[in-house]
A and B are shown apart, each in its own frame.
Chain A
């Protein structure tokens, strides 16, 4: 088959997500690693001589300082509380992003309203799962009702707006869905909205993730307290991580299946040529509706998980910035692909962490490299060359580290799109093509 390294022996094999043995092993290893990541696993007990400098490198240093110091291996770094929550956030956002990818990446219906559907999910979750009081509505139902319920409610709202949405194209749709975000936040100000989402600017406590059969006292599986699972001691944060990881894998699997099956092709066809698609037998309205519904479902569930992660729901959290973050995820990862979406989510969530780590490292390091670079770009506002201000108030024209974090997010979007409009996935394809010399020899 045209000089490709991967030879398939059957269409069945070719249709698998991980179609070769190498891919299967790598994927299994990766997933296993993700499951082990939050735990401390002592393995190497002696220090490796001559590797002290590794600890000086940001991010990596965190990893190596452990393995060098106490002989705790690489995977320990998530054991630090400050990495666990961001990784959990990655899983939660990935679910939402996968949904948006089906709507915007695959079906080409660009939506800036994803945050709104997440909000709908979060509100439904708290309505179904939360406790009621004189100022608040709540039914106190168990998680297996409120989590899917969050998705379903988002789908229903999605269906209500779809008659307008399906008619619109391109940026018109983007802006109308943007309007949904504003409308959604506004609903939190109505007398009935605040009974669900809690008062504006204060919010409301979110139901816990404990898995109960019904409303009984003792949960079937306790997720909200530290405890023991099998032979591991697991903290509540680690439990939540594992729960979110399992959900993220399940949703990724579903998303991938939709994309690679009949429905996915129909959606792509509509994205590329809508009239032609219709003439080829793909009913446009129906499939746009399906795309909207799937995307809303993912968003709704993710929204509930979002609020559960904060332990609290706040209408303002589901604003424009969140929607923009999703668009950035899709574009940075590479729209239309499941793996790109996952990578993109990781990237967007983790970038600020890395930036912070690096500035901190620069600020502290005195060494030949770190020290000089640090001196060049950091300043305490005393008028030297630096552009990153280490103090919190920013006299003059320099920005503080914290501002830089936001600026960098913006700059990253810009630079990424300029350099590689196809996103990380595009870079990956290019790299792969160099090796495969595809499709022509050069």
Chain B
């Protein structure tokens, strides 16, 4: 974890001058945080503007790349979250300023942004509340450890819990692998024991496919078609469709993107396949209900995810989210991913609260605080803590929803009372026996 106290907390040789020249304009403020300064009783460092009592958190997010449609909304939601927090007086009087940089879903750009956030300039931060993408987060994970920074990845890869990086990369919610175990278990209970699997290659796709296989083995299901790592975005999916149709599976577990989900389900339906479908959370997009496939999906798809969804349930977190959005962004479309924004925000808020009460908001201090607490996600999702063993910090509960076109309000705004993107809850915080017993190990290993 937080090893040798390097540039973060200690005073090093650099220009440690706290000369009176600091009365300069904005641009000057940046070299203030060059080293640890005691402000009142609180130890501050890089990423903090002690004079104005501002703490900066970073979002290294995809705002113009492959997942921009999704990520921009999440980032916007988190900005709303901080607006609210700051309006209510901040965290013990400290204002939180989100620094948003676009990684364009590109690893070199992610690294460039990370250099900025981990540096000592005006955009340095104490933690990253969003680090979009798996290869991207993997590329910075070692640096996070070196820099005493923590990051919340927008990626549910099962490897983040790894002890070497798990105290810096905060996996939030169940991972793809656990999700698939739960999903396959649930589906087999409902629909039968012949399962087909199809997914992308790589961390996401193969994590999900492997999770499905683990569950299938534990439950004694028959894997009639194995499409692990076979689905390639942009390619014609005929081989997979052919495979699924010929397999005669009772249900199919997909770890794909919405486009491929539609492609495969539509193709299989045209080929006469009549089984059921389910998949990891990213495989679904409610907009699909508005397409020609709407009826098929309504009848046969089960959506799995890690959290409660917009307007479903009456947890305090959901109430807070909806109220805040209604107040600050009344025109925004009601979107389930705001829940992710809120979860990221809640984690950062509670971590910073702890750090302030510890009297240390240097990077190392924040990191230490984060590993001390259990965050309360206010019913939006299972609570979580990271400090202990991997097995203790893994979340094992997921949520399952039935897709229901009749409750689908396509462009419902946050002020709509019955804004619903087409879900009815089947199971909340569902933990399958396989998932409950799972001993930590990355399902999909790169090395």
Residues of chain A touching chain B, judged by Cβ–Cβ distance below 8 Å, are 47, 52, 55-56, 61-62, 65, 69-70, 80-82, 84-86, 89, 133, 135-136, 186, 189, 194, 198-205, 237, 306, 309-312, 314, 317, 364, 391-395, 400-403, 405-406
Contact = CB atoms under 8 A, between A and B. Distances in A.
B26 A199 contact: no
A202 B107 contact: no
B35 to A, nearest CB: 15
B356 interface: no
A201 B200 contact: yes
B437 interface: no
Given A84-B115, A400-B72, A200 B64 contact: no
Contacts of B203: 199, 201-202
A163 to B, nearest CB: 28
B112 A86 contact: yes
B73 to A, nearest CB: 6
Contact of B201 (A189, A204, A306, A402): A189
Contacts of B104: 402, 406
Contacts of B200: 200-201
Interface residues of B, number: 54
Contact of A392 (B24, B63, B142, B201): B63
Q: Which 8 A-B pairs have the closest CB atoms?
A: A201-B202, A81-B119, A402-B102, A402-B63, A82-B116, A81-B115, A402-B64, A202-B203
B108 A310 contact: yes
B191 interface: no
Contacts of B444: 199, 202
A395 B331 contact: yes
Contact of B107 (A317, A392, A402): A317
Contact of B106 (A237, A317, A400): A317
Contacts of A400: 63-64, 72
B82 to A, nearest CB: 13
B121 A393 contact: no
Contacts of B4: none
B76 A393 contact: yes
A402 B75 CA distance: 13
A314 B107 contact: yes
Contacts of A86: 112
A310 B138 CA distance: 11
Interface string B92-135: 00000000101010111001100110111101000000000011
Contacts of B123: 82
Nearest to B143: A311
Contact of B27 (A61, A198, A391): A61
8 contacts: A55-B27, A70-B31, A200-B201, A204-B447, A310-B107, A393-B76, A405-B64, A405-B102
A202 B134 contact: yes
B148 to A, nearest CB: 15
A203 B121 contact: no
Contact of B25 (A55, A80, A133, A405): A55
Given A69-B24, A135-B446, A205-B447, 5 more contacts: A69-B31, A200-B200, A392-B61, A401-B102, A403-B64
B401 interface: no
B202 A199 contact: yes
A133 B447 CA distance: 6
A314 B110 CA distance: 13
A312 B135 contact: yes
Given A312-B107, A314-B107, A392-B79, A406 B64 contact: yes
Given A133-B447, A402-B102, A405-B102, A202 B21 contact: no
A89 B112 CA distance: 10
Of listed A136, A186, A203, A406, residue having the most chain B CB within 10 A: A203
B204 interface: yes
Contacts of B26: 364
A70 B111 contact: no
Given A61-B27, A392-B76, A393-B73, A201 B204 contact: yes
Contacts of A391: 76, 79
A65 B64 contact: no
B445 to A, nearest CB: 6
A309 B108 contact: yes
Nearest to A205: B447
B232 interface: yes
B135 A314 contact: yes
Interface in B192-218: 200-206
Contacts of A84: 115
B446 A81 contact: no
B15 interface: yes
B75 A194 contact: no
A203 B446 CA distance: 8
A55 B28 CA distance: 9
Nearest to B159: A202
A189 B243 CA distance: 19
B201 A201 contact: yes
A348 B129 CA distance: 30
A49 to B, nearest CB: 14
Nearest to B134: A202
Nearest to B118: A81
Contacts of A306: 108
A10 B308 CA distance: 81
Contact of A202 (B79, B108, B202): B202
B139 interface: yes
Given A69-B21, A203-B135, A85 B115 contact: yes
Contacts of B119: 80-82
A89 B115 contact: no
A199 B206 contact: yes
B21 A70 contact: yes
A281 B51 CA distance: 75
Given A199-B201, A314-B107, A393 B447 contact: no
Interface string B23-52: 011111001000000000000000000000
Interface in B292-311: none
A5 B27 CA distance: 46
